[in-house]
């Protein structure tokens, strides 16, 4: 048997060479590692004997030989001095088969050389380069969608891999053949590989063990491992299958996220309902007082101007709270926002007013609104929410202590070639790393510090724009800035400008009527009574069940305003009882709702034709609805 000797300055291989010749081996010496690799590449040797180098390391040479053609069939023997023995474990892990300790004990050394020679002779020869599988084995390996590989029993080197296997790990077939999983660092950790090897030793087979493996790009993939022994090219080999379950785990994660989002939606809708109740009487009372003071001002009472101005600001604040509450409903998808023709320039202007304080300290603002930009088919408040979120993100990407003149936030609008409208918000900030671009619209994904971001903003923006028939895209250059592009369909509806808040006109609602208000919020009942009292006789109660005996006895009301969600008896139950007792009154019911956040409530409102007033409401809305219902029922 031919053998290759690789000496070093710290190990003398003369005695080893003599013993090798004694048992009929033919050694060939080289000067160094480079010479060894070159000689082995020219004509692989069945055995390589190498001396430990001066630094006590030969791991580079061992790996190079194992990765070479026929490297998995070669017996690698290491010769070390006694003080170097503690350095052997990583070399044994890298592929060394046997070691000899100087000075040599001749009988022991001869036994070990013979064992190494036999081990090399028993290893299966590599397949010829022109070898091709045929028959059932070839079809199963080639056509199987499961990543499959065949490795040697000794050394665990790849002798065949299918296309699914190369796709899973990102290597070409040529890059994998005759190399080992350890060479390619495929396992998440050496412990994983040892765990699988231990199961094979104990059971002779592995079925569906979960593991994590690493691709060429360094990405960890979750897999199930199936391992067995089968004959291949005439000798036993190890056949391994690795179903890729990363997508399944991602699907499970998305389903879990959907469950969490559903819980958040239910919670958000419930919170919105609880806020809307007190906000309803705050808004109603403010609106009532504001309207009354406005009338006094119109009659020449100038001393009340500051009070009226303060109330106007309070109403604006209540409106903002109402919009925030509306944002909570985004998660529950409780209602579909009305879509109409919207001027995006006006929405951007109002949004920029809100963000101006933040922007001017960090960047120059450039508005580049195009000419002849059509109105879009959307919702004013929802678009404002999207633009504000994108502007805040742009601001936060800029340094907080830099020179504002060195940075820019640019807001652009223009018609698109396909008739849609383009809105772009660009910044010169930090940009987004390429590996994160695919995740920025995922719910709960954020790169912000804990406590400064929930990871919901961009997800909500994407959902809102998609619901309006639009698209949201992003382009970013790390270190140079980011551009978010919103594409919206042009509206086919006539554009109707928003009206300014105006005082209530004198109410001309016909004769006084008898009105019953049912709501579990006493202050809301008082607010409704205050608004309707000048025009109708109003009674109120906080318990719907108290009214039923009176109605059953024949008491009549011209109009009933009833809260939808109440304890004990809610508006739905009241409506059902009223239908049984006094069906002629069911058409005279107006429902007050702070949010139908249960499936039962949503189904009820979709089914019945009764008018409803959304909380919070203003005096104008309440008076107009009551007038319309009274007129319709006669």
Residue 537: predicted pLDDT? 93
Q: Quick one: angle between helices 599-607 and 571-581, nearest 10?
A: 40
Residue in the structure block whose two tokens are 């006669």? 634
Provide the CB-side half-sphere exposure for 612 (13 A, CA).
22
Give the pair of three-digit tokens for residue 430: 């930090």
Alpha-carbon separation of residue 114 from 4, 183, 414 (angstroms): 15, 28, 83
Residue 470 near residue 463 (C-beta atoms within 8 A): no
Q: Residue 202 CB: number of other CB atoms within 10 A?
A: 9
What is the total residue count of the chain? 634
Give the single-character DSSP code of 419.
Answer: S
Residue 483: predicted pLDDT? 92
Element (H, E) at 214: strand 206-214
Q: Residue 621 CB: number of other CB atoms within 10 A?
A: 16
Name residues whose C-beta falls within 8 Å of residue 114's C-beta, 6 or more positions apart in sequence: 23
Q: pTM of the predicted model, to two decimals?
A: 0.40
For 382-409, give one letter per residue: b (16+ CB within 10 A) or e: bbbbbbbbbbebbbbbbeeeeeeeebbb
Residue 440: alpha-carbon gap to chain centroid: 7
Distance between CA atoms of residues 341 and 604, nearest Å: 30
Distance between CA atoms of residues 531 and 537, nearest Å: 11
Given CA atoms 433, 435, 441, 443 in this order, what sign does their dihedral have? negative
Given CA atoms 541, 625, 333, 388 in this order, what sign does their dihedral have? negative
Beta-bridge partner residues of 187: 213
Residue 274: predicted pLDDT? 67
Residue 465: predicted pLDDT? 87
Three-state DSSP class for 22? helix
Give the single-character DSSP code of 584.
Answer: G
- Nearest CA-CA partner of 422 in 476, 494, 374: 374
Distance between CA atoms of residues 380 and 347, nearest Å: 7
Residue 413: predicted pLDDT? 94
**Exposed, middle or buried by CB within 10 Å (0-12, 13-18, 19+), for 95?**
buried
Residue 452: predicted pLDDT? 47
Residue 582: predicted pLDDT? 93
* Mean pLDDT of each 10-residue bin along the chain, 634 residues long: 88 90 91 85 86 75 75 84 82 81 88 84 57 59 83 82 90 86 87 82 81 87 85 77 71 56 58 69 73 74 69 68 60 57 89 80 90 89 85 85 83 92 92 76 60 61 85 88 92 64 52 91 85 90 92 92 89 93 92 77 87 82 89 84
Torsion of CA 607, 610, 614, 615, to 10 degrees: -110
Give the single-character DSSP code of 410.
Answer: E
Distance between CA atoms of residues 438 and 457, nearest Å: 16
């Amino acid at each position: 048997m031919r053998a290759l000797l690789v000496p070093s300055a710290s190990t003398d291989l003369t005695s080893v060479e003599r013993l090798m010749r004694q048992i009929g081996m033919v050694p060939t010496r080289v000067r160094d590692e480079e010479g060894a690799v070159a000689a082995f590449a020219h004509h692989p040797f069945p055995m390589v004997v190498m001396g430990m180098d001066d630094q006590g390391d030969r791991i580079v040479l061992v790996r190079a030989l194992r990765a070479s053609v026929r490297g998995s069939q070669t017996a690698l023997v290491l010769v070390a001095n006694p003080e170097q023995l503690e350095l052997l474990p990583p070399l044994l892990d890298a592929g060394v088969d046997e070691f000899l300790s100087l000075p040599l004990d001749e009988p022991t050394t001869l036994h070990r050389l013979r064992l190494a020679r036999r081990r090399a002779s028993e290893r299966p020869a590599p397949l010829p380069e022109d070898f091709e599988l045929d028959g059932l084995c070839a079809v199963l390996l080639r056509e199987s969608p499961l990543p499959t590989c065949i490795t040697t029993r000794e050394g665990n080197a790849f002798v065949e891999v299918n296309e699914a296997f190369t796709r899973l790990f990102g290597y070409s077939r040529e890059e994998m053949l005759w190399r080992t999983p350890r060479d390619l660092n495929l396992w998440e950790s050496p412990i994983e590989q040892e765990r699988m090897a231990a199961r094979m030793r104990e059971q002779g087979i592995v079925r569906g063990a979960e593991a994590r493996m690493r691709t060429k790009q360094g990405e960890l993939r979750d897999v199930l491992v199936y391992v067995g022994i089968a004959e291949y090219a005439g000798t036993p080999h190890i056949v391994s299958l690795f179903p890729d379950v990363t997508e399944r785990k991602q699907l499970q994660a998305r389903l879990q996220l959907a469950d969490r989002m559903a819980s958040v939606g239910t919670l958000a809708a419930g919170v919105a309902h609880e806020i809307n109740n007190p906000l309803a009487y705050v808004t109603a009372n403010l609106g009532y007082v504001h309207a009354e003071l406005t009338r006094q001002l119109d009659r020449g009472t100038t001393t009340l101007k500051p009070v009226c101005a303060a109330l106007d600001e309070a109403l604006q604040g209540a409106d903002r709270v109402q919009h925030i509450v509306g944002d909570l409903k985004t998660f529950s998808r409780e209602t579909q926002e009305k879509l109409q023709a919207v001027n995006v320039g006006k929405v951007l202007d109002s949004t920029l007013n809100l963000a101006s304080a933040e922007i001017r300290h960090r960047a120059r603002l450039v508005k580049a609104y195009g000419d002849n930009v059509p109105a879009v088919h959307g919702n004013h408040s929802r678009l404002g929410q999207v633009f504000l979120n994108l502007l805040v993100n742009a601001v936060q990407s800029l340094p907080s202590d830099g020179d504002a003149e060195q940075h820019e936030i640019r807001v652009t609008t223009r018609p698109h070639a396909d008739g849609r409208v383009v809105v772009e918000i660009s910044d010169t900030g930090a940009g987004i790393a390429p590996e994160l671009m695919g995740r920025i619209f995922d719910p709960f994904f954020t790169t912000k510090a804990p406590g400064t971001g929930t990871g919901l903003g961009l997800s909500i923006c994407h959902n809102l724009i998609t619901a309006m028939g639009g698209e949201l895209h992003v382009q970013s250059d790390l270190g140079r800035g980011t551009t978010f592009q919103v594409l919206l369909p042009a509206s086919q509806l006539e554009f109707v400008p928003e009206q300014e808040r105006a005082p209530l006109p004198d109410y001309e609602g016909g004769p006084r009527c008898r009105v019953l208000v049912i709501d579990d919020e006493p202050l809301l009942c008082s607010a409704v009574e205050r608004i309707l009292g000048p025009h109708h006789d109003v009674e109120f109660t906080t318990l719907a069940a108290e009214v039923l005996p009176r109605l059953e006895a024949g008491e009549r009301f011209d109009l009933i305003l009833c809260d939808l969600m109440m304890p004990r008896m809610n508006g739905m139950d009241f409506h059902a009882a009223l239908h049984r007792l006094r069906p002629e009154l069911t058409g005279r019911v107006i429902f007050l709702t702070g949010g139908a956040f249960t499936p039962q409530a949503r189904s009820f409102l979709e089914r019945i034709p009764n008018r409803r007033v959304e909380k919070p409401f203003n005096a104008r809305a309440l008076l107009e609805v009551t007038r319309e219902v009274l007129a319709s029922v006669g």
